[in-house]
């Protein structure tokens, strides 16, 4: 199973819409099949690791937005 960061749009019953970065997990065919319930925090054990996380987030911004409701 692989994973990456992705932008996910989540609609709430009150009509509110939030866009956030989540970890998304893929099946063996490369299709998204799970995501974290909550957006990821940006916290790491070093500044270098924060930079790595930000690189993954920048890559996520170039991919299509996923819908939370699809998981």
pLDDT digit string (tens) for the chain, length 71 residues: 699 999 999 999 999 999 999 999 999 999 999 999 999 999 999 999 999 999 999 999 999 999 999 99
Q: Which domain holds residue 37?
A: 2-70
Residue with tokens 């925090």: 41
- Cα–Cα–Cα angle for 57, 38, 71, rounded to 5 degrees: 90
Q: How big is the chain by its Cα radius of gyration, in Å?
A: 13
- Reduced to 3 states (helix: H, G, I; strand: E, B; else coil), residue 33 is strand
Number of domains observed in the structure of the chain: 1
Question: Is this model's pTM higher than 0.75 or not?
Answer: yes
């Amino acid at each position: 199973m692989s994973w990456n960061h992705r932008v996910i749009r989540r609609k709430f019953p009150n009509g509110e819409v939030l866009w956030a970065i989540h970890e998304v997990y893929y099946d063996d065919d490369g299709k998204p099949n799970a995501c974290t319930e909550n957006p990821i925090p940006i916290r790491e054990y070093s500044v270098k690791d924060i930079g790595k996380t930000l690189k993954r987030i920048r890559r996520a911004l170039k991919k299509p937005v996923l819908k939370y409701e699809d998981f």
